[in-house]
Amino acid sequence: MGLGDKLRGRQACPVCKGPIDTVAVPKALLCKACDTYLELVDGGLRRIPEDRLESGHVFGAPTPWKDIRAVTFPTVFAALPTQLTELALAKKAGIRLLEAQWPAGCSVCGQPATRHERQARVIVIPREWGIFNIGSQKITIMADGIPHCSEHSGGAVFDRIAFAVSLADPAFGLNFRSLAYRNAFRKLNPWPWSR
């Protein structure tokens, strides 16, 4: 990386040497090239320790659905009835179930699981023509069987995923609180990131 990269806040990934933008630094920086989570410490990048557990869902994993990348979330328009809004903006495309293998143990703390949760989210896949979203698809995505212990819940959620490189394609996937669980999930479900 040259002087221009440093002035723009770009550093090399310590794992693969790929470019990492550090200007608008989130809690965790995901290198799209090597699928490693990094953090900025004292001005330099380092791998986030595998045992990191966050209060929010910051560690993302892709899904096998290549058509789900840039998504929006349904909003309620106060001026229009809900049914009319849905007809105008999106056709309903049903439900997609994430067929994943889940690592053993609670998706938050790793302790033995005593129960399983379902995670679901309604999304809209835009199909834009001009200023209109005519032809967009409104679907419900769902993950069943997410393991949890008796003390934890909500270990994974569907949401957007940001990469630490400018102009990266938008991504959508499953976000975890535990980096160790996210990494174990990736080993069992090695789906590629959308290109």
CB atoms within 10 A of CB 14: 15
Give pLDDT, residue 79.
42
Q: How confident is the model at residue 162 (pLDDT cuts 50, 70, 90)?
A: confident
Q: Please state, in angstroms and rounded to a whole number, the distance separating the CA atoms of residues 8 and 166.
A: 11
| 42-67 confidence digits (pLDDT tens) | 888 999 999 999 999 999 999 998 88
Torsion over CA: 109, 171, 192, 21 (sign): negative
Give yes or no for a contact between 166 and 44, defined as CB atoms under 8 angstroms apart.
no
CA 186 – CA 35 distance, rounded (Å): 9
> What is the pLDDT confidence band of residue 166, given thresholds at 50, 70 and 90?
low
Domain ranges of the chain: 1-48, 52-188
The C-alpha atoms of residue 40 and residue 53 are separated, in whole angstroms, by 17
Average pLDDT over residues 168-191: 92
